[in-house]
Structure 1
Amino acid sequence: MSIVFVNYRTGDGDAVAALLEHELSARFGDGQVFRASTSIPPGSRFPRELITAVRRSHVLLAVIGRRWFDPRTPDDRPEGERPFDWTGREIVEAFESGAVVIPVLTDSVRLDRDRLPTELTELADCQYRRLDVRNSRADLTRIGDDLAQLVPALARTDSRRAEAEERRTAERGSRARTGGRVGGVGGDLSGTVIDSLRGAVHTGSGNLNCGPQFSGDGMGVQYVTGGDFGKSQQRFGGSAGHESGPDR
C-alpha cells in the first residue's frame, strides 16, 4: 500500500510529479509513493487502480501549476468541470477517504477558490507547500519533513532520520570514550594528552616539554621544565631547598 499519492494533471505537473516521486521514494523507500505513470502495472485496469490507490493513501499531494486550469473540454468548459476528470476525482476521493490533501504549488501559481470547480473548493482551504525548481532541494526537504511528521510509518523509514540517529550515536560514543569530559581532561591523567590552542601537553611518563623553567615551593621540592631538552624532576631535601622535618 502506497502512503503518498502524487496527483497531477498531464501537461501541467508531469515533471514535478516525477521529481516528487523520485525524491520521496529515495528518502522513505520504494513502494511508499504512488504515481500513476510508474505505479500501475501493464494490463491493469486504470480507473480501478487509481481509485483503490487514492483510497488507501494517507496523504495526497496535488501538484498544481500554471496550466492546471487551462485544458478545455470539447464544449469549451474547463477540464476540471468534465464529469470524468480523473485529476479532480482523485482529490475528491482523497477528501472522502479522510486522507490529508496538500496542494503543491509550482510556477508561482496561486490557488484561487473562484477558479475551482464546486466539488474542489475545499482544496483552497488546505495549507499548501510550494515547489520551485530554483529552490527544489530545500522545498523537497520541507515536504519530506512534513510527511514524516504527519505519518509515523514514514518517519520509521525516513533515511534522513536514520542518518541523524547514526550521527547522534557516534557523538555519544565519542563522549563515552572521553568520559564525557571536554578535551579528555579529568580523572586519571596518566597517558593523557591535553589539547589547547598552545599545543599539546603530555602528562604521562617521559620528557615534559612545556616552556620556561620554574622551581621552589618552600617544601624542598624542585621542579624543572624546559624546552625540547627538559625533563620533569622532583627532589626532596638537599641543597635545592630547605630541609624538611620536625621542628627542633
Structure 2
Amino acid sequence: MKKVFISYRRKESSGYSRLVYDRLRAAQPDWDIFMDVEGIPVGENWRNVLGARIDSSDIMIVLIGREWLTMTEPNGVRRLDNPDDVTRWEIASALEKKKKLIPVLLEDVPPLAKEELPALLSPLAGMQTLSIRHETFNADLENLIARTTGRGLREKLRWEQGRRALERSKRWSIPAITLLMLVILWVGLLDLFTLETRTTTWSLALADMLFPARLEANVSLVAIPGTFNTHAPSARATYAELISRLTEAGAGAILLDLVFHESRDQDETLSAAFEAAADAGTSVFFGFAELEERKPRAVKILAESAGGLGLVCVGRRLGYTMMMPIAMNYREAESRNEPDRISSLPGIALLGAAGRVSVDSLNPESNSLTLAAGDGRKLQYPISLLERIHATPKGCKAMNPDTQSALILLRLSPLAALRAYDRRIDMNAVLAGQFDGNIIRGRTVIVGLEAPEEEFTVAYGLGPEQRYGYELYADAINTLVTNRIVRPLGVYPQVFLMLAISSLGAWLGIKLLGRPAYFRRLVFAVLMFLYLLLSVYLVAEENLLLHTAYDLFTLTVAYLLFRRFSTKWLV
C-alpha cells in the first residue's frame, strides 16, 4: 500500500485538490491518500500531523496554481520566501527526505524557473511536471493517475473487469473443485500413491506421541518366551498349568492369543483348566483364525469349555498404522429353515473389553456394534470403519470375501507402559509362582508369544517401532475401554470443509499474485504445517480423522487455478 501526500495552497487550488483527491481514491482504494482538510483530527497539532504524514509518504503531489509562485503575505513578503510558510515547509521536508515529488501545473501555469525559487525548493525546477487544464481535465487526470499508480484509467478499468471476472469464476469454480475432490476421495485416487495412507499414519503416530494415551484398561500381559515350543506334546499341559496359576491369583479374565486347530493328547487337561477357571469366576477366551464348514475352526472340547472364541487377526496395515478387526460377519452353514443366515463373531480384543458377549449386529448407518450380554442387556460400541472384505488377509483365512469386518484404528500407548514391571510378567515366573498377585488380581490377562513371527511394525511418534501381537491386543482393549475410537469425518462435514478449503485456495491464488516465489512457498509451507497440527490435535482430542492428503490437494488445486485466472485477468 502506497501513501500519497497532496500539497496545495487553499486560496488558489482547493477545487483542484478535491478533484485530484477523489479521483485518486477511486482509482486506488487500497492506497492511503492524505489531504490536510481530510486527514487532521480536531484538536491535533497540525504541524506534527503534517510532519508525520510527510515522513511516511511515498509520493508528494504538488499542485501549482497561477498564484503559487507570487502569493504574498500581508506585509508584502512573498510566501515562498517566508521560512514559516506551510507549503514551503512541506516541500522542503519532502525534498530533504528524498521523497518522490510530482509537480502539477494548473491551468497553463508555465514551468518553474530555478532562479524564481528559494534555494531549498530549487530542485523542483529540474523535475518533470504534469499539467491539468479545464479543457482536457479527464485526460490530464488520467495521466496523473498513471504517473502516480503505474496505470491509467483504462488499465484500472481492465483490472476492475478482471476482478469481476474472478468473482464470477468463484461462483462455479469453488463448487466444481469441491465436487471433483469429493469424487477423487470417493475413488481413493491418492491412495494409489500412498499419500493418504502416509498422512493418516503419521497423524495418528504424532497424536499418540504428543498426547500420550494412558493405559487405563485393567489389563496385564503374560509373555510366552520365543524359545517356548508351542508345537511340543506338553505345550497344552503347560497352558493348563498357566491358567490354573492365573485363576488362583484372581484373574478376572484370561485371553489366550493362541489358536487350537488340531487335537492333542493334553486337550482334556486344558479343557479341565478352562472349566475350573469358569467355576472360579474367571472367563477364558482363546482365538480362531480360520473357518471350518462356515464355523470357527477350533478343537471341539476346548471350544465347548472355554468362555468364548475370538478372532485373532491383528489387522491390516494402513502404512504403519494397524486397523484391527474387533468383529466380523460370516455366513453360517446352510440349513433347511435358514439357508442363507449371516451371523457375527467378536474379535479377541472385544471380548477383553466387554467380557462374555456375543455380537448382535454390525450397524453401517451408525458405524457401531450392538452386543448382547449374558443378562440380556444390549451394549453399543463405536467403530472406525465397517469394511467388506475383497481379498483374504494374509494369516487370517477366516476373513474371506464372503465376510464383513468392523475395524478400529489402534491408539497406541507408550511401549514402556505395556512392558512395565507392574503390567507384564514372564510365563516362567508365573509357573514358578514368582510374581506379585496384585498384578493379576481382578485384571484381564492377555497371554501371547514373543517370537519374531509375532512382531509387527507400527508407527509411534516420529518413527516406526516393533510390538508383539498380544501387546497390540492390549492397546485395542484400551482403545475400546477408553472410547478413543477414531472416526473419519462424515460426508456433510467433509463437503463443507472442502468448500472452505477451496475458497481459501482461491483467495491465496489472488492475494499472492506478484509476490516473490520464496514468499508464496513459505505461506504454503506454513499453512500445510498448521493444517497438519490441526489434524493431529483433532485425532488426539476429538478422535476425529481428517482426510488430510485430499484436503491439502484441494487447497493446492484451487490455489493454482486461481493463480492462473489472476495472471490472465489482472496482470
Task: Report TM bin, short chain.
Answer: 0.5 to 0.7
Partner of 2:204: none
What is the CA-CA distance between 1:160 and the residue it aligns to? Answer: 3.5
Larger Rg, first or second structure (1 or 2): 2
Q: Which residue of 1 aligns with 2:159?
A: 162
Measure, in 2, the Cα distance between the counterparts of 1:168 and 1:130: 35
CA drift at 1:37: 0.8
Distance 1:69 1:102 in 2: 16
Give 1:191's aligned residue.
none
| Cα distance in 2 for residues equivalent to 1:58 and 1:15 | 24
2:78 match: 78
Deviations 1:114-172 (A, max 9, x none): 2211111100111111111221111111111111229xxxxxxx8545225358879xx
Who is 2:133 aligned against? 132
Pairs within 5 Å for 1:33-72 = 33-72=33-72
Moved over 4 A (4+): 166-170
Contact kept? 1:2, 1:53, Cα under 8 Å:
no
1:113 CA displacement: 2.1
User: Equivalent residues in 2 for 1:7-46 (5 A)?
Assistant: 7-29=7-29, 32-46=32-46
Q: CA RMSD in A?
A: 2.6
> Residues 3-44 of structure 1: CA distance to partner in whole angstroms, max 9, x if unpaired?
111000121211111111010011111662100011111111
Match of 2:145 in 1: 144
1:106 aligns with 2:106: yes
Q: 1:78, CA displacement in angstroms?
A: 0.7
Using CA pairs below 8 Å that are at least 6 residues apart, which structure has the higher relative contact order?
2
Q: Which runs of 5+ in 1 are unaligned?
A: 151-157, 171-248
Aligned residues: 164
Measured against aligned partners, the alpha-carbon deviations of 1:182-218 in whole angstroms (never above 9, x if no partner) come to xxxxxxxxxxxxxxxxxxxxxxxxxxxxxxxxxxxxx
Measured after TM superposition, the shift of residue 53 of structure 1 is 0.5
- Runs of 5+ unmatched residues, structure 2: 168-571
- Read off the aligned partner of 1:163 and give its amino acid letter: E
Asked whether the equivalents of residues 2 and 34 of structure 1 are also in contact (C-alpha less than 8 Å), the reply is no
The 2-side partners of 1:74 and 1:113 are apart by 25
Written as runs of structure 1 = structure 2, the 5 A alignment for 1:171-182 is none
Q: Structure 1 residues 45 and 73, CA, compared in 2 at 3 Å: closer, same or farther?
A: same
Q: Is the CA contact (8 Å cut-off) linking 1:13 and 1:65 kept in structure 2? A: yes
Indicate the structure with greater strand content.
2
1-side partners of 2:57 and 2:11: how far apart?
24
Higher normalized helix content (fraction of residues): 2
Deviations 1:22-80 (Å, cap 9, x if unpaired)? Answer: 10011111662100011111111100001111111110000001011232124322111
Between the aligned partners of 2:14 and 2:83, the Cα distance in structure 1 is 22
C-alpha separation in 2, matches of 1:118 and 1:20 = 28
* Native 8 Å contact 1:64 1:104 kept in 2: yes
In structure 1, what is the Cα distance between the partners aligned to 2:98 and 2:132?
A: 24
Partner of 2:121: 120
